[in-house]
């Protein structure tokens, strides 16, 4: 079929051009995200580290790949416009000049989030309301009719020193949502954090992985995806699938290529234990729903009664997110608990590498082996992960 004039415009203005994208992440994960980015199956893309993430340029395919493969990014946004505005009249005029129909479909739900710093226009709510109105009016006039259910888009407006940076969210739900159902346990770890910790321990996906306090199993599921070479975003949907420029054929091709690379591991390599039997039952269901029952074994077990010989004869990686804080009472009690964990690891897990979450960095002193500390944020709190080798 011959392309319509609008399709030709999309090609000329969006798909045939390089765009600028930003992969954001949470504090503490930027270096890991950059390393993940460098390993992406992209051709000749440029990327630079920026505050809060990585900036990169490339065709829309780069955006698809970044969403599909980056396991520690929170979301990927695409730059749409940048201009200076010191009053609402200028802001309205500049916003109306953006060719919104190239990025958004008619009759869609538009959500705008603004942040301002050091600018004459500082009232974020007023900026957001005007932006939604102008974009809707623009689409009503300039966008072609589009069949199907209305799409939802998020526009981010960052204002710094009167300069407006307008970008479009390409991810939709934040990327820690992998599209897998999971049982909800106590203080579950975001998959992006779990992935960063697994990467920090050097987990290869080909060696045993064990979480003796696995809760709802964030480490196990993330480890299973790594061992099976399933890209983090494989099972979910993305906002870019509703962009006017979206190419279903290209996306199908990228997913097919990813699928050819899956590894079907049927021998147990990943082991999870928890003393709470109800969590284990829910977790078994999640693992079986996603075809991980052969690869991941879970059992109700107290960590302090556990020895590696019970499940493997090869040293690997042990990851631990122990309960801490108020649940364990006073600080002294937490220190005592970490000392018991450290002693147990040193006694029974010689030669294993470890990644252990600490609510306070001083708790590393309770561990009887050398560790490196890396700060990160979990549930809005700064915590640390200690990595090292048990000897
Ligand atoms: C903070 S949660 C772990 C969260 C988990 N990483 C997740 O993402 O869902 C701590 C878990 O440790 C378990 N636990 C505490 N003491 C334990 C012990 N001695 N042996 C086994 N599990 C224990 C608790 O039942 C709880 O599920």
Task: Output Rg (C-alpha) for the chain, integer angstroms.
Answer: 24
pLDDT band at 45 (very low <50, low <70, confident <90, very high): low
275 lines ligand 1 (CB under 6 A): yes
302 lines ligand 1 (CB under 6 A): yes
* CATH code where residue 77 lies: 3.30.2130.30
Average pLDDT, the chain: 93
Burial 305-314 (b: 16+ CB within 10 A, else e): ebebeeebee
Q: Assess if residue 243 is contained within a domain.
A: no
Same domain? 96 vs 160 = yes
**Could you list the residue range(s) of the whole structural domain that residue 64 is in?**
5-169
pLDDT above 60 (res 328): no
Separation between Cα atoms, residue 356 and residue 176, nearest integer Å:
20
Task: Determine the residue of 181, 215, 223 to mutate for testing ligand 1's pocket, defined as the one with the most ligand atoms within 8 A of the Cβ atom.
Answer: 215
Kindly report the number of other CB atoms within 10 A of residue 159's CB atom: 22
Whole-number Å distance, alpha carbon 358 to ligand 1 midpoint, is: 14
The β-bridge partners of 168 are 78, 155
pLDDT band at 128 (very low <50, low <70, confident <90, very high): very high
Same domain? 12 vs 132 = yes
CB 52 within 8 A of CB 220: no
Separation between Cα atoms, residue 384 and residue 356, nearest integer Å:
8
Whole-number Å distance, alpha carbon 114 to ligand 1 midpoint, is: 38
Q: Assess if residue 109 is contained within a domain.
A: yes
Where in 11-105 does DSSP place strands (E)? 19-24, 46-50, 53-58, 75-84
pLDDT for the residue numbered 47: 86
Whole-number Å distance, alpha carbon 321 to ligand 1 midpoint, is: 7
Identify the CA nearest to 135 among candidates 87, 174, 102, 159: 102
Same domain? 143 vs 209 = no
Separation between Cα atoms, residue 274 and residue 391, nearest integer Å:
24
Same domain? 109 vs 200 = no
pLDDT in tens, 94-112: 999 999 999 999 999 999 9
Q: Assess if residue 82 is contained within a domain.
A: yes
Same domain? 51 vs 120 = yes
Same domain? 131 vs 11 = yes
* CATH code where residue 282 lies: 3.40.50.150
Separation between Cα atoms, residue 12 and residue 21, nearest integer Å:
18
Q: Assess if residue 325 is contained within a domain.
A: yes
pLDDT in tens, 233-283: 999 999 999 999 999 999 999 999 999 999 999 899 999 999 998 889 889
pLDDT in tens, 193-202: 999 999 999 9
Separation between Cα atoms, residue 254 and residue 238, nearest integer Å:
14
pLDDT above 60 (res 327): no
pLDDT for the residue numbered 288: 92
Q: End-to-end distance of the chain based on CA atoms, in angstroms?
A: 66
Same domain? 305 vs 360 = yes
Q: Assess if residue 181 is contained within a domain.
A: no
Same domain? 147 vs 212 = no
């Amino acid at each position: 079929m011959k392309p319509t004039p609008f399709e030709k415009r999309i090609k000329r203005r969006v798909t045939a051009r390089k765009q600028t994208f930003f992969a954001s992440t949470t504090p503490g994960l930027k270096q890991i995200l950059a390393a993940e980015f460098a390993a992406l199956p992209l051709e000749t893309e440029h990327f630079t580290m920026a505050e809060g993430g990585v900036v990169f340029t490339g065709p829309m395919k780069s955006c698809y790949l970044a969403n599909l493969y980056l396991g520690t990014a929170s979301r990927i946004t695409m730059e749409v416009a940048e201009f200076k505005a010191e009053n609402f009249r200028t802001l309205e005029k500049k916003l109306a000049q953006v060719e919104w129909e190239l990025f958004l479909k008619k009759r869609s739900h538009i959500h705008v989030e603004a942040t301002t710093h050091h600018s004459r226009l500082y009232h974020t709510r007023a900026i957001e309301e005007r932006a939604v109105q102008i974009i809707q009016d623009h689409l009503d006039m300039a966008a072609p009719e589009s069949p199907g259910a209305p799409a939802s888009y998020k526009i981010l407006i960052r204002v710094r020193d009167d300069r407006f940076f307008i970008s479009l969210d390409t991810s939709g739900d934040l990327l820690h949502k992998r599209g897998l159902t999971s049982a909800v346990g106590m203080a579950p770890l975001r998959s992006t954090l779990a992935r960063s910790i697994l990467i920090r321990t050097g987990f290869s996906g080909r060696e045993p992985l064990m979480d003796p306090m696995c809760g709802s199993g964030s480490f196990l599921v993330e480890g299973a995806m790594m061992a099976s070479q399933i890209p983090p975003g494989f099972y979910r949907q993305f906002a870019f699938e509703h962009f006017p420029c979206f190419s279903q054929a290209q996306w199908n091709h990228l997913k097919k290529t990813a699928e050819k690379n899956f590894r079907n591991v049927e021998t147990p390599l990943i082991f999870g234990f928890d003393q709470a039997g109800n969590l284990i039952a829910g977790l078994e269901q999640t693992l079986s729903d996603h075809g991980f029952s052969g690869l991941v074994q879970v059992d109700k077990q107290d960590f302090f009664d556990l020895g590696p010989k019970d499940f493997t004869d090869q040293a690997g990686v042990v990851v631990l997110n122990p309960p801490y804080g108020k649940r364990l009472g006073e600080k002294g009690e937490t220190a005592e608990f970490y000392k018991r964990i450290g002693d147990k690891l040193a006694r029974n897990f010689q030669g294993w590498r470890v990644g252990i979450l600490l609510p306070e960095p001083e708790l590393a002193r309770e561990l009887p082996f050398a560790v490196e500390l890396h700060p990160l944020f979990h549930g809005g709190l700064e915590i640390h992960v200690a990595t090292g080798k048990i000897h």
